[in-house]
C-alpha cells in the first residue's frame, strides 16, 4: 500500500454516484435499476444527475430519476456540446464537493452502463481499501475510464480533477503523441503512441503523478458473456467499442453501450444491447 493511499483510509460505506444526463434518461434509468438491483447495500447509494439548466430533459424523466439529487449547469454552457459538455459537467463534482457533504466514495458512471455483478458495491469498497481509484479501463491504458470510475472523496481535497477532453471546433476529439518517458510509464504505453484526448484523458497523469494507487478491470472483446444475435454480432464487428464487456473473477461485471445519444434504448442498437443483457440475466436465474 503506498503512503498516499494509506493516508486516505476511511470508513468507505456510502457511495455518491454521478452521471451526466442529456437526452439519455432512458439509459440512466436502466443504469439505476442495475446498480440498485445488484448492490449488497442499496440504501447506501445516492444518485446525482448533472444536467443543463433550462434543458427539456425533465420531460423525458423516467420513474427512478425522481429520487436523484439534481445539479444544474447554467446557461452559459448551452452552446457547448458532446464530449466537452460531458467533461465540463463532471468537473462540477469539484464544486459540489465544496458545498455538500458527500459520501466517502465517489462513482462517476456513464448513463449507458449496466452492472450485472452481484455485490458490485462491496467489490468497490474492498478494492478502495488498497487503492485510490478503481473502474473500467481506459482504452489500452491500465487506468479507470470515466465510463465507470470510483475514487476516494479525499482526493478532491488534494487535487482538483479535470475531466475535460481536447476537441476541435467540430467537437472531434484530438489525438496527442506520447513524447516523454514519464507519460509513457504513467499510461503504460510506448513512446510515440497516440493517445485519444477524450473525456478524462488527463486523469492518468494526475493520479499516477501524485502516486495514487489504482486498479482497473480490462475490457474483454473476446469470450463474450452476453449472448449475441446475428444482428448484434454484425453491429459489434463494425463498431468495436460498442457493447464492451468488463469481466471480474471470471464473471461479467458490467457492459457499456457507447454513443447512447445516437440510439434510444427501446430501438435500434440500444434495443440490441438491452436484449443481450436480458438474455444473459435469464440464463443466470
For residue range 8-44, list pLDDT tens digits in order. 444 447 999 999 988 788 899 999 999 999 999 999 9
Q: Which residue has the higher pLDDT, 208 or 151?
A: 151
Sign for the CA dihedral angle at 233, 236, 242, 248 comes to positive
What does the pLDDT read at residue 140?
72
pTM above 0.85, yes or no: yes
- Per-residue pLDDT band for 4 (boundaries 50, 70, 90) equals very low
Compute the distance between CA of residue 3 and CA of residue 265 in angstroms, rounded to an integer: 44
Q: Indicate the SS3 state at residue 4.
A: helix
**What distance, in Å, lies between the first and last C-alpha atoms of the chain?**
38
Compute the distance between CA of residue 218 and CA of residue 226 in angstroms, rounded to an integer: 16
Alpha helices in 131-202 (DSSP H): 155-158, 181-187
Compute the distance between CA of residue 5 and CA of residue 257 in angstroms, rounded to an integer: 32
Mean pLDDT over residues 255-283, rounded?
A: 89
Q: What is the CA radius of gyration of the chain?
A: 18
What are the pLDDT digits (tens) for 187-197?
Answer: 888 899 998 88
What does the pLDDT read at residue 247?
92
Host H or E run for residue 108: strand 105-109
What does the pLDDT read at residue 78?
59
Report whether pLDDT(242) > 60: yes
- Give me the domains of the chain, ranges plus CATH numbers: 3-284 (3.90.550)
- Judging by DSSP bridges, how do beta strands 219-220 and 214-217 pair with one another? unpaired
- Judging by DSSP bridges, how do beta strands 133-138 and 214-217 pair with one another? parallel
Compute the distance between CA of residue 256 and CA of residue 6 in angstroms, rounded to an integer: 32
Count Cβ atoms within 10 A of the Cβ of residue 79 and give its class: 0-12 exposed, 13-18 middle, 19 or more buried. exposed
- Does residue 82 contact residue 171 with C-beta atoms inside 8 Å? yes
- Does residue 84 contact residue 164 with C-beta atoms inside 8 Å? yes
Mean pLDDT over residues 98-107, rounded?
A: 92
Mean pLDDT over residues 82-96, rounded?
A: 88
Compute the distance between CA of residue 59 and CA of residue 172 in angstroms, rounded to an integer: 29
- Give the residue carrying C-alpha cell 429520487: 67
What does the pLDDT read at residue 116?
97
What does the pLDDT read at residue 10?
45
Compute the distance between CA of residue 74 and CA of residue 148 in angstroms, rounded to an integer: 25
Average pLDDT over all residues of the chain: 84
Amino acid at each position: 500500500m503506498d503512503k498516499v493511499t494509506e493516508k486516505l483510509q476511511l470508513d468507505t460505506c456510502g457511495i455518491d454516484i454521478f452521471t451526466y444526463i442529456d437526452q439519455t434518461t432512458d439509459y440512466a434509468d436502466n443504469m439505476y435499476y442495475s446498480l440498485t438491483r445488484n448492490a449488497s447495500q442499496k440504501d447506501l447509494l445516492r444518485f446525482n444527475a448533472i444536467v443543463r439548466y433550462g434543458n427539456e430533459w425533465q420531460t423525458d424523466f423516467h420513474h427512478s430519476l425522481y429520487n436523484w439529487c439534481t445539479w444544474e449547469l447554467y446557461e452559459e454552457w448551452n452552446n457547448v456540446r458532446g464530449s466537452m459538455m460531458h467533461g465540463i459537467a463532471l468537473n462540477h463534482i469539484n464544486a459540489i464537493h465544496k458545498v455538500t457533504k458527500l459520501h466517502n466514495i465517489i462513482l462517476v458512471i456513464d448513463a449507458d452502463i449496466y452492472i450485472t455483478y452481484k455485490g458490485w458495491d462491496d467489490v468497490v469498497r474492498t478494492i478502495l481499501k488498497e487503492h485510490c481509484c478503481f473502474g473500467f479501463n481506459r482504452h489500452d491504458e491500465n487506468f479507470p475510464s470515466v465510463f465507470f470510475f470510483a475514487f476516494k472523496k479525499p482526493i478532491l481535497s488534494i487535487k482538483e480533477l479535470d475531466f475535460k477532453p481536447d476537441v476541435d471546433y467540430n467537437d472531434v476529439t484530438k489525438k496527442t503523441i506520447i513524447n516523454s518517458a514519464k507519460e509513457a510509464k504513467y499510461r503504460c504505453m510506448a513512446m510515440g503512441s497516440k493517445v485519444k484526448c477524450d473525456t478524462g484523458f488527463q486523469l492518468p497523469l494526475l493520479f499516477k503523478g501524485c502516486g495514487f494507487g489504482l486498479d482497473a478491470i480490462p475490457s474483454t472483446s473476446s469470450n463474450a458473456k452476453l449472448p449475441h444475435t446475428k444482428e448484434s454480432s454484425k453491429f459489434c464487428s463494425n463498431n468495436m467499442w460498442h457493447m464492451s464487456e468488463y469481466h471480474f473473477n471470471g464473471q461479467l461485471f458490467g457492459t457499456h453501450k457507447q454513443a447512447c445519444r445516437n440510439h434510444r434504448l427501446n430501438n435500434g442498437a440500444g434495443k440490441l444491447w438491452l436484449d443481450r443483457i436480458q438474455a444473459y440475466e435469464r440464463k443466470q436465474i
